[in-house]
Amino acid sequence: MAGLLSSLVRETLPNYLSNLPVPDTFGGWFRLGFKDWLSLVPPTAVLAGLGYMSYLAFCPHGRPVPSRQSNQKIRKNEAKVVDTIDIEDIAEKAAFCRCWKSNNWPYCDGSHGGHNKETGDNLGPVVVRKKGN
């Protein structure tokens, strides 16, 4: 494997690059034929790919940064979302949301299922039940 890589870097790649039709002058670009332009596509694509990967790696401002907030929609106008539920008000058991995606907040409505499929996460509700049930 090392010999193959060495041969590629020392012989094949330099030979390939030296045979590319790169003009010596600016006007030479206009005299290239269709086959010449076609032969320049692969190295151009490789350089563009490397440039784009470098851009993504070293320019974090160029890509959207995911929100670090867990709560994306529940009572955003409040400084802190706090709910109090008396245990006496629960019939037998209740499932409470902890993914912040429920449309029936603070109770779980199963919204975590879509989130889990999309992200590979394993969120689920907090289930509170009365003792003896």
DSSP 67-103: P--S-SSSSTTSSS------GGG-SSEEEE--SS--T
Residue 116: Cβ within 10 Å count = 14
Per the annotation, the verdict on 35 as an active-site residue is no
Given the structure tokens 């094949």, which residue do they identify?
12
What is residue 28's DSSP assignment?
A: G
Tokens representing residue 20 in the block: 């590319």
Instruction: Give me the catalytic one of 35, 76, 80, 131.
Output: 80
Residue 41 CA to residue 73 CA, distance in Å, equals 47
Residue 65 CA to residue 98 CA, distance in Å, equals 23
Tell me the catalytic residues: 80
